[in-house]
Structures are given as C-alpha cells and as structure tokens.
C-alpha cells in the first residue's frame, strides 16, 4: 500500500470482478484482500485500505444494501476519507451508482467499477478498472462526485448506462459523452463535474416499497396494469415508446392508477428526454401528463425507478414534487 495524504477505501461487493471459473461457470471467489493483491501495490498518491461488504452477483443487491452502503460511506467522509471505490457486478452498476448519488450528501468522491471478464479469464479487466477508479480519486476534487470507471472511461452516475452485454467498453454516457478518461495514469476531464442533485434523506427503515417498471411494446395489453395484486404497488415507472407514448387502450388504466400512486412517464429509448408539449393524441405525452403521470425527463426508466423507490422509502415531503426537482437537475 502506498503512503499518501488522501485516504481511500475500496469496498468489495462481489460481481464478475471477484469471480473465478469453477466447472459450471463463473462464481464468487475473491474478497477484498485478493482484489488488493491483484494490483501489486500500485496505488500512487493514495493511502488505500480494503473492506468486504458483500460477495454476491449484482443482480442480488437490494435497495437496503444501497442505504447501508451510503451510511457507511457517509461515516468514512466524517472520519477523513477523501474517496471510496466500490467494486461490484456490472449488471446493476448504473442503478447502484445513481442510488448512491441521490443518497450521499457528504464531501467524499465515489468511483464504482467492476469487470466484464472474470478474474481467471485471459485479459481479465478487473485490476485495470480498479486501478482506473483509484487514479480518478487521486485527481478528483473531493466534492461529492459519484462516477463509474470502466475501460479507462469515467462516467457521471446520473447518465451512465450499460449498453453491451459483454464488451469491455460496455458503459457509455449517451450524447453527453464521458466525464473524462484515464490517460497515462491520470484522470483527464472531458466534461465539467455536474452540479449536485437534490438529495434523498437516508431512510430510517430498510422496508422497500414495491415499484414496478413496465416497458410498453407494440399492441401492449393492459393486463399488467390490472393484474392481481396491482393495487399493492406503491409506484410505477412506464417505459413508454418514443417521446412518451402508449397505446390508447392503456390510458384509462394509467389515469386510474396515477390518481392513487405516483406513475412516472419515461422513455424506453436510449437517449433524449420525454416531451411535454409536442404530441396531443390519446396516449401521447400531453394527454398522459394531463392525466396525472409524472414527467421523467431524461431519466432512464431504470434510474426513474431508483429515484421513485428511494423517495418512497424516505417518506418525507411530497414525493411527486421531490421527483420533479431531481428530474429537472439531471
């Protein structure tokens, strides 16, 4: 471990970066100690320590895990840590990164990373991604930024998405482009750090409300909006077609649900914002927003669900108004 003035903790959650081949495929195998060993002591300018938080595939992470992780990172900020690296699986990485950006309100930078190849694969990318995350923190300002670092690209948490199942460069930042790059061992910014998002208070309870995400498809049936148990759902995210459109057959059900619980109108496309005033036919965005659905803006459906779930967990203030503040700031 290199000595330096900046204290950084690497928190291991599991995922492909910590998996090894074992007969039937990749399975969890490495803890924080083994991940540390993969770097061979290359942490320039930093004083790094390592800790295990979990050892699970990222599909098994929960909102309760994110709340507990945010609380631990906040504690580290108050005892003098400059930054934290989170190593985890990439399946839910864009969601956990955004959850932490909403929950953290402390002067500590967080870089999330993972791997697209297991630790025993030829050309395993985990060590390089870990080193990239540490190099971002070596050059970061310590102002509470949350990023994803993969394949030497640095992405803002609020806009990053996983856009390929297996490629090393699976993570992208859409039309905005990446926050920066790791180049010759240093963080090189390409875009300025974004203004902080409105924060969600850390929930006191780990109870997670049921928030459903429905992707609208050609000739979509309204069945899912009427299915047994649908009245127990605390909130919905509608991944609508195009600029925020659904078949007319769904309109009455969506209006009925939106009178009772929050329903966020997002887009299933990979870029752009849900419109507000372009299309006026039944099932278009003007019609749906007029019936009480909430404008999801440029939030992806996945991130709209993260924001709505955390707001409902926090249980403070007007959830709809707070969501509008987050959407406006993305």
Question: What is the C-alpha to C-alpha distance for residues 182 and 25, in angstroms, rounded to an integer?
Answer: 31
Separation between Cα atoms, residue 15 and residue 114, nearest integer Å = 7
DSSP string, 36-63: HHTTTT--TTEEEEEEE---S-GGG--H
Q: Distance (Å, rounded) from C-alpha 157 to C-alpha 89?
A: 15
CA gap 9, 84 in Å, rounded: 5
Based on the residue annotation, tell me whether 166 is a catalytic residue of this protein: no
Distance, in Å, from the CA atom of 12 to the CA atom of 5, rounded to the nearest integer, reads 22
Pairing mode, if any, of strands 161-162 and 171-172? antiparallel
Q: Which of 16, 90, 113, 309 is catalytic?
A: 16
With CA atoms as reference, report the closest residue to 270 among 158, 179, 174. Answer: 174
Among candidate residues 260, 261, 224, the one with its CA nearest the CA of residue 239? 224
Selection from 77, 309, 86 nearest residue 209 by Cα = 309
Return d(Cα 97, Cα 110) in angstroms, integer: 9
Task: List the catalytic residues.
Answer: 16
């Amino acid at each position: 471990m290199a000595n330096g003035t900046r204290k950084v903790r690497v928190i291991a959650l599991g995922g492909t970066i910590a998996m090894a081949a074992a007969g039937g495929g990749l399975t969890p195998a490495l803890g924080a100690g083994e991940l540390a060993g993969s770097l061979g002591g290359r942490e320039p300018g930093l004083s790094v320590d390592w800790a295990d938080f979990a050892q699970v595939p990222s599909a098994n992470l929960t909102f309760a895990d994110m709340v507990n992780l945010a609380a631990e990172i906040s504690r580290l900020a108050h005892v003098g840590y400059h930054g934290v690296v989170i190593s985890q699986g990439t399946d839910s990485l864009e969601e956990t990164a955004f959850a932490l950006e909403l929950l953290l309100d402390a002067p500590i930078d967080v870089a999330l990373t993972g791997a697209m190849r297991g630790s025993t694969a030829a050309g395993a990318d985990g060590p390089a991604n870990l080193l990239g995350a540490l190099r971002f923190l070596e050059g970061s300002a310590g102002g509470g930024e949350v990023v994803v670092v993969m394949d030497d690209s640095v992405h803002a948490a609020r806009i990053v998405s996983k856009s390929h199942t297996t490629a090393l460069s699976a993570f992208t930042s859409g039309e905005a482009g990446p926050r920066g790059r790791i180049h010759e061992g240093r963080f090189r910014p390409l875009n300025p750090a974004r203004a902080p998002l409105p924060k969600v208070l850390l929930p006191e309870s780990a109870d997670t409300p049921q928030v459903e995400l429905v992707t609208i498809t050609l000739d979509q049936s309204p069945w899912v909006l009427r299915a047994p148990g649908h009245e127990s759902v605390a909130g919905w995210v509608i991944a609508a077609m195009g600029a925020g459109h659904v078949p007319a057959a769904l309109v009455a059900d969506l209006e009925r649900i939106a009178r009772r619980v929050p329903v966020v109108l997002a887009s299933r496309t990979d870029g752009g914002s849900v419109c507000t005033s372009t299309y006026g036919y039944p099932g278009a965005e003007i019609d749906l927003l007029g019936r009480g659905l909430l404008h999801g803006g440029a939030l992806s459906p996945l991130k709209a669900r993260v924001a709505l779930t955390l707001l409902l967990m926090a249980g403070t203030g007007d959830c709809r108004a707070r969501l509008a503040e987050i959407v406006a700031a993305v």
